[in-house]
Structure 1
């Protein structure tokens, strides 16, 4: 594993412009820099989605920010109307390709797009941490809140995946 994952590591992101990226989405669309520069959105970044027909190695559960993709994704899904009510779109991102991600969208009935960043362009642009697991480079579970193209909140190394969406919503509701 590589890189630092402390909460302090997120401080440098606050006030930064969200990078001008073009990313593929599970909707079949390409999300362009223009869409990232207007309005408000939450982008939660997850390590990887497992599949029901594949058993994760036991070591996966020892990585603090690895477990919890399904609970986090489904909690954001269940709270998506609450986020929309305060003006936030939701995006989810990993380095997995959209074909792989579409299976999770279907299985979990997600109402928002999953974005694919196989080249880790967002991580490179912002200095977001990644880690190695069984020879694969993977994102550390993190969340960025972006308003009008500027990062206003950053959570790096999220370990409470299931409760994080609700905690973040409460934080954003107070700020409105």
Structure 2
């Protein structure tokens, strides 16, 4: 559990609204997104079995950027604990055959770079600030205080196609365990 942004016990649980049902089997679009290491990541050219976890918004301990009512939106809270989970399981995911891991939100690369550095993430975060990927894949969203955010989901991409989708995700701080289990079982078959 994170000392900054701990998850409350009474978070609302997201329900599967079917908004991600269309994703599995889709070809990744010809989109290039900026990463926190100042490279551009071509999504059609990802290493085999890449994990991309999509999250709505990371907060900062020194800034109040979380919109009013955030904790009332099922699935909104938990981006920092989710990232820490992927950090903790990064080596195991790689050992299980994952070519790379990326986090993705619509926040700017500069904002995400601070999160990557503060959280000591061994992987990069991608910025879809222009919503190129979100629009191309019709990713599920929610709106709060007039702003649109991506719903939390994870895609496993293999050979340019979305092999598997995790949606909805709850609790977010345990999600990396779920992905590791799926990847390990998929590698065994």
**What is the correspondence of 1:131-150 to structure 2 with a 5 Å cutoff?**
131-150=142-161
- The offset of 1:57, in angstroms, is 4.7
1:77 equivalent in alignment to 2:87: yes
Q: How many residues align?
A: 172
State how far apart, in whole Å, the 1-side matches of 2:133 and 2:67 are. 27
- Residue in structure 1 matched with residue 137 of structure 2 by the alignment: 126
1:99 aligns with 2:110: yes
| Cα distance change, pair 167–53 in 1 and its aligned pair in 2 (3 A) | same
Gaps of 5+ in 1: none
Deviation at 1:157, TM superposition (A): 3.1
Instruction: Choose between structure 1 and 2: higher helix proportion.
Output: 1
Deviation per residue, 1:98-147 (Å, 9 max, x gap): 11111101110001000000121112111111111222211111110111
Is this contact kept in 1: 2:97–2:183, CA < 8 A?
A: no
User: So what's the TM-score if we normalise by structure 1?
Assistant: 0.90
More off after superposition, 18-27 vs 149-158 = 149-158
Query: SS state of the match for residue 87, structure 1?
Result: coil
CA distance in 2 between counterparts of 1:65 and 1:119 reads 23
3-state DSSP class of the match of 1:53? coil
